Amino acid sequence: MTPDVPFARMNGLGNEILVADMRGRADRILPEAAIALAADPLTRFDQIMAIHDPERPGSTARIRILNTDGSEAGACGNGTRCVVRYLSLDSGAQEFSFEMRYGTVEARELPTGVISVDMGVPRFDWAHIPLAHPVADTDAAPVACGPQDAPVLSAPALASMGNPHAVFFVQADVWSIDLARWGAELEHHPLFPDRANISIASVAGPTRLVMRTFERGVGLTRACGSAACAAGVLAARTGRTERRLTVTVPGGDLIIEWRDDDHVMMTGPAEYEWSGRLDPATGAFERIQDAGAAA
């Protein structure tokens, strides 16, 4: 088939995103197409953000999120910022309301060029994270890896930000831990029936965290917006930091604020790289325009 779906290769702090414009169509990007796109060095991605026509009045669009293995995700903060930048370049609008699998997400482009996304209200109860069974304390869950007598990581704090997150707060340098190894193991821990995003975070001060994330269905990533939100909220909830802080991920900094109304605001950049067209059934694509031509 001829590639006929417009898409843009973008990034949010190095989190590699494909924004695919499926508006006006009834079909979907198939898992096998996502897997094929992820396998090509030019279109390798952490998430595909597929923009569909809205189902509810007042919404800008409905967003379906695909991981590199073809599975669906419930939330992607960095990807949402990329969708905002894509639609802003297309229409000039600055305020957006998106339908996602776990609820409605409001976002806006600020005059400074950064994008702020309301990531909603975090959930800490075991059934909504979800966990396989109740645990006594979701701020220090019975999860560990490594030797039993000297675990490498243990007792993570857990939350849902539309996706399940396990955050291990460590004293060590986050780069000293083999997250590729332990993240792949912990993602599939029996406590997590839907798998989990695994993060390690170090407190660098009352308003700063440094963290890395192993994203379920993806692997190591340079940035994960929902994980940064989860880490910021859990750091504040457990008394480690204040409620507004800078979260430094391998790709750069995000501002995370857990407001008094319990909503979590995430603010950061999004960058357009190049655009093309893709086939949603096979993943075949063609490259059309680079960032300079689109600016």
Q: Measured between alpha carbons, how far is 244 from 206 in angstroms, rounded to an integer?
A: 9
Known active-site residue 76: yes
Q: Measured between alpha carbons, how far is 294 from 275 in angstroms, rounded to an integer?
A: 9
Pairing of strands 144-145, 153-154: antiparallel
AA identity, residue 279: D
Counting DSSP H helices and E strands in the chain, the numbers are 5, 20
Q: Is 231 helix (H, G, I), strand (E, B) or coil?
A: helix
Which one is catalytic: 76, 82, 145, 229? 76
Which whole-number Å values give the CA distances from 59 to 74, 96, 103, in the listed order? 17, 8, 12
213 Cβ neighbours under 8 A, 6+ residues apart: 179, 183, 197, 198, 199, 220, 221, 223, 224, 227, 249
Which one is catalytic: 82, 145, 224, 229? 224
AA identity, residue 6: P
Peptide bond into 6 cis (omega under 30): no
42 Cβ neighbours under 8 A, 6+ residues apart: 9, 285, 287
Structure tokens at 218: 């993806």
Phi, psi of 152 (to 5 degrees): -75, -40
Known active-site residue 82: no
52 Cβ neighbours under 8 A, 6+ residues apart: 22, 23, 25, 61, 62, 63, 64
Q: Measured between alpha carbons, how far is 233 from 122 in angstroms, rounded to an integer?
A: 8
Active site residues: 76, 224
